[in-house]
A = this chain, B = another copy of it.
Amino acid sequence: MINKKIRIKDIAQLAGVSAGTVDRVLHNRGKVSEEALQKVQDTLQRIDYEPNLIARTLGSGKTYHIAVLIPDPTLDEYWNQSFAGINKAADELAHFGIYIQHFFFNLYDSSSFGSIAEAVCFAQPDGVLIAPVFYQEALPFFDLFKAKNIPCVLFNTNIPEADPLCFIGQNLFDSGKVGAELLHLCQNGSGTFALLHIGENSSDSVHLLEKEKGFRAYFKKNKLEDRVKVLNLENLKIPSEYADLENLLLRDDQLKGVLVSTSKGISFVSSILEKHGKRGIKLVGYDLLEENIKFLNAGVIDFLINQNPRRQAYLGINSLANFLFLKKSPPSLELFPLEIITRENLESYLKSGIY
């Protein structure tokens, strides 16, 4: 660290050209003779040049615009958490001339996605962070972005066909395994374990099916596959489905544990159990929604698996910024820790100010 930093000027001197030429080589903007190119590249080879990023941003008044395409955070708690992460990142990056534009679609109306995504295209951002929760609707846009050479970072939901710069999220298969494991660790004796898909059609959702695979895989590995039940309860307003759920929870004496694959679904299970004062069934769900937290604190839910949407979104913006700004490609897959939340460590997660 003793020798000073090498500047462009130094390289120019060493190579016997001007700073302008070095800069042109560094950014291969062309308009450089074969000979000058050679000289500059040679010296670059010999020394260890690290551009001064501070000077770079100041020199080029360049600003970058990142578009964010996510479900409307005012309509949903989970996405509001993502939004918080985006805003934190936006705050920190404003100094560097990186600006965020928001584009919200309606989580409860898949058809809203298209027009909003078009608006994103129209805005011509330098990069885009997307939570592509609607597979079918999102798919056509990735080609558009690619054609316009706009880098995409996906988070929360992966669409490998999109071939994004990077995906940030959790391994859902493993998350199903964790859910299974938590139930199993707490119930060593006999009994059955159920996975419930509530409020969504699991056959439409790779998301849920991945969790199911993981859930089954865990019990298979432990030679308990015959103790697993999976129920699809797409709409609990249908009386027969609701009755199925009640029967399972209240009248199946074998049932020792339940994992609910959807973050909102577990509150239905919880309220049924709570209302009937039924104990002894371990309950595992997803995400730190207000309702879920309430049931966790009440001792109805035992574990929640947290996806940390705030941090996912925060990292998404940062990855994009680093790519645009430092030309540093993020790892193509950033799989987040599968955070296990209990009554006793909940506070430590809620109060933590880290992103």
Contact = CB atoms under 8 A, between A and B. Distances in A.
A344 interface: yes
Interface residues of A, number: 46
A145 to B, nearest CB: 24
Contacts of A95: 52-54
Contact of A171 (B185, B343, B348): B348
A337 B353 contact: no
A98 to B, nearest CB: 12
A160 to B, nearest CB: 18
Number of copies: 2
A345 B179 CA distance: 10
Interface stretch (A230-238, A242-250, A328-336): A328-336
Interface string A309-342: 0010001000000000000000100111111101
A353 B336 contact: no
A302 interface: yes
Contacts of A337: 339, 345, 348-349, 352
A58 interface: yes
12 contacts: A54-B58, A54-B95, A58-B58, A171-B348, A174-B347, A188-B280, A315-B354, A331-B353, A334-B354, A335-B348, A335-B351, A340-B345
Interface of A: 1, 52-55, 57-58, 95-96, 99, 170-171, 174, 177-178, 180-182, 185-186, 188, 218, 280, 282, 302, 311, 315, 331, 334-340, 342-345, 347-349, 351-354
